[in-house]
Amino acid sequence: MRIVDAALTAYRLPLATPWETAAGRWHERQGWLIRITDQSGRCGLGDAAPLPASDTETLSQAQSWLNAQLTTLIGEMSEPACARLPPAPAHPAARCGLETALLDLQSKQQGLPLYQRLGGTSVDVVRLNAAIGALDQQTDERAIAAVAAGYSTLKLKLGLSPIETELSLLEQLCAQLPGGVRLRLDANRAWRMPEAADLIRKLNRLPIESLEEPLRHPTPETLQELQFLARFDLALDESLPGYIRAQQLQPIPVHRIIIKPACLGGLIPALAMIRQAHQSGIACVITSTLESSAGLWPLCHLAATADALTAPAIHGLATSHWFSRDLGDPPVITNGQTTLGSEPGTGFILKM
């Protein structure tokens, strides 16, 4: 079936509470909803949600690129149109959204859930961590609520307060956690090497699952030294594009990388990187860049595909609760996991 319409709609979604990291503070999320329709009326949907703080293009740059691409799609078949998309580097979030819309349409045309279209198996359960924000006086409450909801891995943002203050709050939190619950920490490049090394030594006695981006000015040598010190995985997130551009994924100095398709240009480039990392013995966790529900659904499908092809992980995709309003219902999460089912496409239903 050929494409008969391709449209772009702007959205602005308020957050229930501000999303705060060492890189900035956000009160809302803006992006572009992409809708591609074929002759039968089937519709593929994608979310282009740039976040320059995560090394993507700007909102206006995404719009310009998408407008130019959408005009070329009319009369095309979805599969060759997807194969002919330009490479990712200049406009990764826009390309991710457009690729997703085309893949969603292809999956619906083939009557397959997206994870099977991407090469996954019948396993459709994805385990998730709870994102409980930055360390503050209410962190304990949020952590207890997340554990009660069935999560065993809790993600926290660090680097917003003095390091000793945050360590004290972490120790206080860990004293209240039940056995088996671990913390996934994200420092967003907050610290210098000496303080990061000192902190990691102290974190080794706590139930820490991983630490993302500890260094303000990372080098392969300093990251390797820190990974040697840590009894848990260190992970690259914001630093990863630099390794990709330098084609240095093989000698990556930490045990884990964070996969954000909006920063890599789409689900297919992300899946190629996951396969390459797996061959190199590097673990991968797929994480949201605070996409709308239109963006979360395909990320969950990517996670299901990755889990079928590599070692299953606990992914960072339980972020829909940060929105006070959304484009549609997000994936349902029960006991810290979501089940995708057999519905063709991503499963996302637009309600705006």
Which residue type, as a one-letter code, is found at position 325?
A: R
CA dist., res. 202 & res. 197, Å (int): 9
DSSP code at position 290: S
| Domain match, 151 and 244 both | yes
| Domain match, 196 and 313 both | yes
Instruction: Between 328 and 88, name the one with better pLDDT.
Output: 328
Please work out, in degrees rounded to the nearest 5, the angle formed at the alpha carbon of residue 293 by the alpha carbons of 90 and 350. 105
pLDDT tens by residue, 242-296: 777 665 555 789 999 999 999 999 999 999 999 989 988 999 999 999 999 999 9
Domain that holds residue 240: 116-339
Instruction: Categorize the per-residue pLDDT at 133 as very low, low, confident or very high, splitting at 50, 70 and 90.
Output: confident
The residues that bridge with 9 in the sheet, in sequence order, are 33
Instruction: Between 201 and 309, name the one with better pLDDT.
Output: 201
Q: Is 247 helix (H, G, I), strand (E, B) or coil?
A: coil
| Domain match, 256 and 308 both | yes
| Domain match, 207 and 125 both | yes
Q: Is residue 346 part of a domain?
A: no
Average pLDDT score over the chain: 92
Entry pTM: 0.95
CA dist., res. 344 & res. 332, Å (int): 17
Q: Is residue 134 part of a domain?
A: yes
Q: How many domains does the chain have?
A: 2
| Domain match, 168 and 137 both | yes
| Domain match, 78 and 193 both | no
Alpha-carbon distances, residue 143 vs 38, 173, 205, 319 (angstroms): 45, 8, 19, 15
CATH number for the domain that contains residue 289: 3.20.20.120
CA–chain centroid gap for 88, Å, is 17
Tokens for 152? 């065993």
